[in-house]
Structure 1
Amino acid sequence: MSPLTRRTLLASGTALPLALSAPVAGAAQSSEPTEVRWLEGAAPAEMTGVTWGLPWPKGQLRPDQSFSLRTADGIAVPVQTWPTGYWPDGSLKWSAHAIAAGAPRAERYLLTPGPAAVPAKAVTVTRQAGRIVVDTGILRCVINTGGKVLIDTVSRAGKVVARTGELVCLHQNDPDEFDEGGRKIERYTGEVQRVTVEQHGPVRAVVRIDGKHRAKHRGRDWLPFTIRLYFHAGAENFRMVHSFVFDGNATKDFVRGLGVRFQVPMNDEPHNRHVRFASADGGLFTEAVRGITGLRRDPGSAVRAAQVAGRATPDVSTWDTRVSSRLQLIPAWGDYTLSQLTADGFVIRKRTKPGHGWIHAAAGTRAGGFGYVGGAGGGFAFGMRDFWQLHPTQLDIRGAAGAAAEVTLWLWAPDAKPMDLRFYHDGMGMDTYPEQLEGLEITYEDYEPGFGDPYGVARTSELMFWALDATPSAERLAAQAAVVRIPPLLVTTPQRMRDAGVFGDWSPVDRSNPARARIEDRLDFLFDFYRKQTDQRRWYGFWDYGDVMHTYDNDRHEWRYDIGGYAWDNSELSTDLWLWYSYLRTGRSDIFRMAEAMTRHTGEVDVYHIGKYADLGTRHGVQHWADSAKQLRISTAANRRFLYFLTADERIGDLLHDLVDADKTFLALDPLRKIRTEPYEPDPKALAVSLGTDWGALAAAWFTEWERGGDPVARTKLINTCTAIGKLKNGFITGEGRYDITTGTFATDTVAVSVSHLSAVFGPVEMCSEIIAAADLPEFERAWLQYCILYNATAAEQIAAVGQSFGSLNLKQAHSRLTAYAAAKTNNPTLAARAWTEFERGEAGYPSNSPWTSTRITGPVVLNPVDEATWVSTNATAQYGLAAIQCLALVGDRIAG
């Protein structure tokens, strides 16, 4: 039988309604304005157009609600609004909003239901001769719908500023390890296969481009990509989000360079052409293609001052003739490269032209990923976000002394070693399951031949481009570079988020008594410790940035980066959720940015997007794809929902949608293959699915799709499985269900007692709370409350309830939040007291008498000075954080002051 699909569901007549498309009966429009402010505190110096998301209380607003925006002093701000989430009654749950590049700068804005102001000139999207033309009112971008050139031209006031925007890739057939010259480098260019206009104004337009990279000299296609281009009304810039999937053979396909390239016409005289690069701390490298400062003869102070400032110099006829008559003898420097090969150093070098030597120009620690080439008559600014964090990266300018400069933003720098994704060991003889389980016992790595394959992992990068009418001032360039480094975002307050009732059980920071304040201090300590560890331990790099390490090695004063399953965390025990809930309740920008980077990483690198493991994530390990445990608990939508709803990011939306049919993975890969004692053949009508980590991940994807108003199959599967769990004699305590992929439900005749300490710690706690609040499922709620009460209960209480003790279970502190949930739902003070006892005791976590301090370690026992807390582990941190946050929200009034 075929899996349940939208077509079969609708044909059966059993489809359950999604969000209502008609106005919500009785929806009360609130006239109270919602204040939004800049995440980083101050208004950005460069207004480039901003998109953000906001939640709304159930039943308050219609799904098609319009909004007006104004500054605090009453100035109307044009805004574009669209829904991104709905409550079960069809009312608006999440809205997305965009403002134009020319919006008034203000520290805060007020959003109110009502008619939106429109921009003086809207961004428009039209089709002309098989091309898509986007016009912001200042910038005009012509996008091709096929071929190897993505962007035909970028122009301003009728003048082309950049052309021939394309994707480039350098492929190498070996890792270049002193191979006696046997390597072969091949050039690939992105080939457009499909172009989709996703939004067309009036404030914001989005164009999606899908394709693959194609070899120039043979027919191979590889590295599928999705490019999104973002335009805002009144903008002289546009944003690019670049995502690609690795679909090569890790032993034969090595990326030597991966980038985005434009051609920039150069019309000014060489002495009026300028090159700029930015450092990460706001500094600028500023030079002219042909410099006229520092010469033996002086052209004049006005000439020198103009060139240094980037302005057009006075006419050459006004110069000192000893200079003007010899301009042709001053070298013109046409080629520039800025390469950031590590997190700790970049180098700028230049040369006059190919065939001649490179000259060292400058160097620094961390580059800002921003550059400019152009002159008095206009130019092109360009930038790459997280430039030094995602090393090795590179910015190239070629031919700036000629008719056109070639600009390449390298996501993977050609100056670096080629991208080597091969598995890190040879298997060490672990050819059988018993041998592999022995390996798990010693290194904690679940190895299996052929499973450490990167085929299908992905990465997303963010870039920005400006079409400018002249070389900007140093102050303007610094402002543009700052926007590239930290794109501005509008947010609301934690209390306003909490009042909307989204994301389950959390509450804003409250230090109203000593006990609460003590826990808040500990939460702050843990986040600040990991924030510092990221930099001190250099948790950076193209494939690594955004993740943290799993476990510490006290003897080496080092995280166990090279030991099996103790290395990269890969979302183990919900590190992502800890960061996101920490942000929700604090509103701290540094927490948001760390959570954002983690979501970008774990949603792309730790998850397979194509191939036999598609929709599965990889368990923690030395490489992000190394472990053979491919699991839904890592790819879970529970970790990505926050960034999507808070920013309306379309790429995250893609990742969420991809997981809706993740139940099919149980036909492709048996997660229990190494420990089963009986023969097992996947049966579409009776798949063995864990009611904890597996169902929790499926439920997160289905709930989120329902929330977004997507495929009705998602809601049907969610309600079907919740109803079935409620009908099981022992509910969640059954441990595993027989899942029928053809109907999207569990069999209800299974009677068992099987409880794992991992079942609830990868998102089911948070998702069950939201599901119960959203849907009328009393039997499901009863089953969940039973699990919450019994997990940390005494053996006698467990036997009395289900006839069997659960045995010795781990993570009791983590599960204190389940006890707190049951206490809150049943208004049981005894359970509330028990929850705080479990939390403070800290079994398999952090007891209240933990040190709560770190120690500074310096040489010679460590390479670099670091802060060390040998009692800290990432599993314990994530679960302590979530337990603290949820216990405070649920039974905070029961804590002893």
Structure 2
Amino acid sequence: MSTCPTTRRRFLQSAAAASLLSTLPGLSGAVTANTGAKAKPVSGTALRWLDGKPPARFHGATLGVPWPRGTLRLPAGRRLDFTLGANAPAMQSWPLAYWPDGSLKWTAHAIAGGAPAAGWNVEPGASRGGTVNVRQAAGQVVVAAGDVEWTVPATGEHLVASAVRAGRVTLQDLKLVALRQDGPEPEVEGSVARQAFASKVTKVTVEQAGPVRAVLKLDGVHSGGGRDWLPFSVRLYFYAGSDSVRIVHSFIYDGVPERDFIRGLGVTAQVPMTDPAHDRHVRFSGEGAGVWGEAVRPVTGLRRDPGQAFRDAQVAGRALPPLDGMAKPVRDGLQWIPEWGDYSLAQLAPDGFTLKKRTKSGRAWIDANAGTRSKGLVYAGGASGGVVLGLKDFWQRAPVQLDVRHAAGAMAEVTAWLWAPSAPAMDMRSYRGEDGMDTHDKQIAGLNITYEDYEAGWDAATGVARTSELQLWVTGGTPSHDTLSAMAEQVANPARLVLSPERIHQCGVFGDWDPVDTGTPARKLIEDRLALQLDQYLRETEQHRWYGFWSYGDVMHTYDPDRHMWRYDIGGYAWDNSELSTDLWLWYSYLRTGRADIFRYAEAMTRHTGEVDVYHLGRFKGFGTRHGVQHWSDSSKQPRVSNAAYRRIYYFLTADERVGDLMRELLDSDADLATVDISRKLPKKEGAPQGGFVNASFGTVWGSLIAAWLAEWERTGDVKWRDKIVSGMRSIAALKRQWFAAGAPYDHRTGKFHGPGDTASFSNLNGVFGVVEMNSELLTLVDEPAYRKAWLQYCRTYNAPKEEIVALLGRDPGGRGMGDTNSRMTAYAAYHERDRTLALRAWREFFQSDWLKPEGSRTRRVGGTAVLRPVVELANTSTNGSAQWGLAAIQHMALGGATLDEAARAAGLIP
């Protein structure tokens, strides 16, 4: 299949041979695959820190780098050689995605840890060798990274059997733990039974073996008492130049919600304690840069003074000077000073943590301190070495907990609890019952008042998943407070190397967008509104505490100005669950701005929506749940929520393997459309599909499926997935009404639509779940003239005057909602047909939005007794409108910038 000609001036400018790569094999004289013209260079591949400056500590990172079509090909040796420069860290590179002509579209680059700096550039050339080495032997994998050697058993209970630093076993028996409870917390009386589980690894896969980065994937289940449940996959990431391992932990809830309550879920390790009790230390990260640190047996604050040198050494975490220099009363009395063996920092809510300690099990806890938000880091060890363990998004994922046990004994235990055992048990039951909705008609009546679709058995949490990120260091001593604080910052906000928006845009990836530009009055007006909108959502997460283990990363659907609250308890107006492409809005906003806060907001959403809002096993596997009070409570299970388009940008920017897994899970999900009838609550049409076909809409169903197939084609070059997309394109174009048919009987075995398709109808939903973005990309990758024509006609006609609709279709089918945001389809047609009049019409349609009116974007502060805490609100905001308006504004400016100011003046928006 050849690539199609494109009229995009900006694409022609970017899809070109990069002269900086011409020294690599196969690059000299590269031409663009779609025009045959000599390619123009990209502007260099300078890396920058996401937060704008080098971090205090750098433990390695991975990023994706795009390349213009036709400029870079995999050398005959199948190895990519890139460097960051003569004095920069080592780098490991590999292919991530391909253009249709076989040239590389994305490459991934793992950069070794070490002294952080600015001014690194990805350039052709041999990188200096890394220090990561992987050895596979019978029953285990050994990873040597810098000064640490990690032994990973192939099966069994432990993720890591031991970590040896400088010949000393500093960590051993790293494993997963879970606590099950057979009922909820007793409300007044009663009791519950608890059961402990530990990880049982069944498979270890070496995905990368160095020299800069090694990646091991461990699959298994939690096992105990003769039961296996909570399947997991854990990836261990080792970087040259780092004494840490990054842990990406994913699990699936496969219990029965009415009787399987998770009381605790964690990662734990044993730490050999060989130093005297007064040289053993425990540290926790506190608020901001703060660190709390004490010795197992303190020598400060005593009735007798041991001496300044002893006090200073213990506070700093160093071994005490020889005890014969200590004041005799203290030296003689050391044995009477209590040894504090157990410590716990519990963050049970996003606004508060408590810190306590005790001497040992069976003794009372005493309060040590408390605070608001910890960054989630703990250390246990001593002068000879120890372990630092941190949990990302710590307070945001509350209830969470960090524990140290038996620090006064021979073997301490350090645990990061993803769900704190000191909190009430995790309750996965439905928030509501049948409540009389025992017939189809009653369920429809309920839907009509609360906007949430209820159906018994279709609101179960069984099959949802969650991914957490941790980092673990093996140290040669007790880190200083400054070092621990820097480690905590690394856990909370991992150092990332990224590209500028301009460099990414030059490569023609991800369709219609351009970097932020306030160079004209009308563009500034729109850019200011976009920024205001984004800033409001960042504010809303904090104002309304959109936090928690299952919820962090999502946003709410619709605001209730009467209560000055989001409608968290009103059916389908509560959690958004990707409705109307919120994820895409955030990712395109990051691409344009390069803002760190938007990246992290979008990253949290990707981690949430791809895991929690989607089923990963069971009858709903591959389908997502429509918006509702709980993330799984609505009975509408659809591919429009599990849509790979919402994960794909993050995957290519970061090369994140877990997100890559999630996209691959969806490749065959269309085969289950017949068993998960997503249209069962809609009025039935005559002539139900036969022969294994299902009725499928072009936008909400097929438009959501194609993103997974596109990603797989890009990642592997396997034309099977391209051909499946093309089958859909051709069969849509072959229908009498083409895109105006809105949907048709679909055959998952061939990817084709069938039937006459002779009835025209409109649905505003067909264009708001990523199909506009996917078509924008696909029509630069495959040459399907009939489908292109059909799509352009649909784009041109959607917002057309009624008489044009009637002239084309014979009648006006109605159903054309969201005219202001769907104006981007008009803009798309205008751009590709070079129709200036149509472009001006597209702007007029867009300007109908209230967002560009002063009253439509005016915030107000509400305080006093009207609210729980003061808030700044946009009274009539909704995530549907915000996401679609944002996407429309981005695409409009990318396609119609030449006519923007003229149209804005005509509309009276600018002088």
TM over 0.5: yes
Are 1:660 and 2:667 an aligned pair? yes
Deviation at 1:533, TM superposition (A): 0.7
Deviation at residue 780 of structure 1 after TM alignment: 1.0
Provide the residue aligned with 1:36 in structure 2. Answer: 47
Q: Which runs of 5+ in 1 are unaligned?
A: 1-21
1 CA distance for matches of 2:29 and 2:579? 43
Give 1:177 shift: 2.6
- Aligned twin of 1:16: none
Q: Does residue 154 of structure 2 align to residue 145 of structure 1? A: yes
Report how far residue 831 of structure 1 moved.
1.0
- Cα separation, 2, equivalents of 1:688 and 1:610: 24
Cα separation, partners in 2 of 1:887 and 1:427, compared to 1, 3 Å = same
Instruction: Show the counterpart of 2:30.
Output: 27
Letter in 1 for 2:89: V
Structure 1 segment 374-389 matched on structure 2, within 5 A: 374-389=381-396
How much has 1:732 moved relative to structure 2? 1.1
Letter of the aligned partner of 1:564 in structure 2?
G
Conserved 8 A contact 1:261-1:409: yes
1:182 Cα deviation from its structure 2 partner: 2.7
Select 1:126's aligned residue among 127, 132, 135: 135
Matches within 5 A, 1:146-185: 146-178=155-187, 180-185=189-194
**How far off is 1:440 after superposition?**
1.0
Counterpart of 1:277 (choices 277, 281, 284) is: 284
Offset at residue 591 of structure 1 (A): 0.5
Q: Do 1:378 and 1:468's aligned partners in 2 also have CA atoms closer than 8 Å?
A: yes
Which letter does structure 1 place at the counterpart of 2:125?
Answer: G
Matched-pair contact (CA < 8 Å) for 1:246–1:456: yes
- 1:366–1:70 distance in 2 versus 1, CA, 3 Å: same
Deviation at 1:225, TM superposition (A): 0.2
Look up the equivalent residue of 2:401 and give its one-letter code.
Q
Report whether the alignment pairs 1:584 with 2:587. no
Contact kept? 2:761, 2:815, Cα under 8 Å: no
Instruction: Report how far residue 233 of structure 1 moved.
Output: 1.3
Tell me the CA shift for residue 750 of structure 1.
2.4
Question: What residue number does 1:87 align with?
Answer: 99
AA of the residue aligned to 1:27: A
Does the 8 A contact of 1:437 with 1:446 survive in 2? yes
Q: How does 1:428-507 map to 2 (within 5 A)?
A: 428-507=435-514
CA distance in 1, matches of 2:237, 2:688: 47
| Mapping of residues 498-517 of structure 1, within 5 Å | 498-517=505-524
Deviation at 1:749, TM superposition (A): 3.1
The percent of aligned pairs where both chains have the same amino acid is 52
- The 1-side partners of 2:447 and 2:687 are apart by 23
Question: What's the offset of the Cα at 1:804?
Answer: 2.5
Is 1:888 the counterpart of 2:893? The answer is: yes
The structural deviation recorded for 1:27 is 3.2
Write out aligned runs for 1:285-434 (5 A). 285-434=292-441
SS at match of 1:35: coil
Shift of 1:521: 0.6
- The one-letter amino acid paired with 2:463 is G
Shift of 1:148: 1.3
1:182-226 deviations in whole A, cap 9, x for unaligned? 3100001111111100000110000000001111x3x11110000
- What is the distance in 2 between the residues matched to 1:405 and 1:57? 53
Counterpart selection for 1:704 from 696, 703, 711: 711
- 1:19 aligns with none
Q: Deviations over 1:606-659 (max 9, x none)?
A: 000110000000000000000011011000001000110000000000001111
Is the contact made by 1:607 and 1:635 (CA closer than 8 Å) also made in structure 2?
A: yes
Cα 1:179–1:513 shift into 2, 3 Å = same
Instruction: Give the aligned residue type for 2:650.
Output: L
Partner in structure 2 of residue 58 of structure 1: 69
- Establish whether residue 112 from structure 1 lines up as the match of residue 123 from structure 2: yes
Q: Secondary structure at the match of 1:805?
A: coil
SS of the counterpart of 2:206? strand
Asked if 1:866 is matched to 2:877, the reply is: no
CA drift at 1:106: 1.1
State the shift of 1:752 in Å: 1.8
* Number of positions where the alignment pairs a residue of Structure 1 with one of Structure 2: 867
RMSD of Structure 2 on Structure 1 (CA): 1.6
C-alpha spacing 1:834/1:576, structure 2 compared with 1 (3 Å)? same
Distance 2:651 2:857 in 1: 33
1:14 corresponds in structure 2 to none
Contact 1:373 1:380 in 2 (8 A): yes
Distance (Å, rounded) in 1 between the aligned partners of 2:433 and 2:747: 39
Q: Does 1:209 align with 2:214?
A: no
Contact 1:31 / 1:113 at 8 angstroms: preserved in 2? Answer: no
Give the direction of change, closer, same or farther, for the CA distance of 1:682–1:256 in structure 2 (3 Å limit): farther
Residue 210 of structure 1 aligns to a residue in which SS?
Answer: strand
Shift of 1:284: 0.4
Equivalent residues of 2:233, 2:250 under 8 A apart? yes
Q: Output the CA distance in 2 between the equivalents of 1:275 and 1:547.
A: 35
TM-aligned CA deviation for residue 555 of structure 1? 1.0
Query: 8 Å contact 2:288–2:375 — kept in the other structure?
Result: yes
Q: Structure 1 pair 356/680, CA: closer, same or farther in 2 (3 Å)?
A: farther
- 1:390-789 equivalence runs, <5 A: 390-677=397-684, 683=690, 685-709=692-716, 711-747=718-754, 749-789=756-796
1:796-807 equivalences in 2 (<5 Å)? 796-807=803-814
Which amino acid in the other structure matches residue 537 of structure 1? Answer: H
Tell me the distance in 2 between the aligned counterparts of 1:284 and 1:306: 17
Q: Counterpart in 1 of 2:56?
A: 45
CA contact (8 A) 1:280 1:367 kept: yes
Partner Cα separation in structure 1 for residue 379 and residue 170 of structure 2: 12
C-alpha displacement at 1:317, in angstroms? 1.0
* Worse-matched range after superposition: 740-749 or 821-830: 740-749
Kindly state the Cα deviation for residue 680 of structure 1 after the two structures are TM-superposed: 8.1
Q: Mark the CA change 1:654 to 1:808 in structure 2 (over 3 Å): closer, same or farther.
A: closer
Please state whether the residue corresponding to 1:838 is helix, strand or coil.
helix
The residue identity in structure 2 corresponding to 1:895 is L
| Cα distance, 1:870 vs structure 2 | 0.6
Report the Cα distance in structure 2 between the residues aligned to 1:557 and 1:31, rounded to whole angstroms: 48
Residue by residue over 1:31-63, the C-alpha shift from the partner in whole angstroms, topping out at 9 and shown as x without a partner, is 963101110111111110110111110001003
One-letter code aligned to 2:470: L
The worse-fitting range, judged by mean Cα deviation, of 424-433 and 376-385 is 424-433
Q: Deviations over 1:399-447 (max 9, x none)?
A: 0001010111100000000000111111211111111111111111111
Runs of 4+ in structure 1 over 6 Å off: 679-682
Q: Normalising by the residue count of structure 2, what TM-score does the alignment of the two structures yield?
A: 0.93
Q: Quick check: 2:388–2:475 contact (8 Å CA) kept in 1? A: yes
Partner of 1:265: 272
SS at match of 1:34: coil
* One-letter identity of the residue aligned with 1:196: T
TM-score by length of 1: 0.95
SS at match of 2:46: strand
1:46 and 1:884 map into 2 onto residues whose CA distance is: 39
